[in-house]
Amino acid sequence: MFQIGGNEKFAKVIEFLRCQIHQDTVFLYVNSVFSPNPDELINDLTLESMGSWWSITHHRWHGVERCTSWKLTSANMEKPCTTNF
C-alpha cells in the first residue's frame, strides 16, 4: 500500500504510477467515473470519491488491459522513481 498527503497534487500520483508500471502514459479515473485534473489536491478528490482507494486502469495499444487497486501512502510516494525495483 502507498499513501500520499492530502495537500499534494494529483500530478504526484500520476508520476508515481508512471514510474511503478514503467510506462510513459497512464489513464487514471476516480471510481471509474472521472479523470482528475493534475492540479487538483488529493483532499478534494477523496471528498468527491468518498474514500481513499483508487482504481487504476492501464491500457496498452495492442489490446492488453491491466486493472490494479492501489491505496497511496506518503512514505512510498516520497521514494525516487527508478527503473530497478
Q: Over the stretch 26-59, which tens digit does the pLDDT of each residue have?
A: 888 777 777 889 999 888 876 655 444 444 444 4
35 within 8 A of 27, measured Cβ to Cβ: yes
Domain that includes residue 23, residue range: 10-77
Q: What percent of the chain has pLDDT over 90?
A: 6
Strands 53-59 and 65-71 come out as antiparallel
**Is residue 61 in a domain?**
yes
**Is residue 15 in a domain?**
yes
**Is residue 84 in a domain?**
no
**Is residue 52 in a domain?**
yes
User: What average pLDDT does this structure show over 1-14?
Assistant: 83
Q: What is the DSSP letter of 83?
A: S
**Is residue 3 in a domain?**
no
Domain count, the chain: 1
**Is residue 2 in a domain?**
no
Predicted TM-score (pTM) of this structure: 0.57
**Is residue 26 in a domain?**
yes
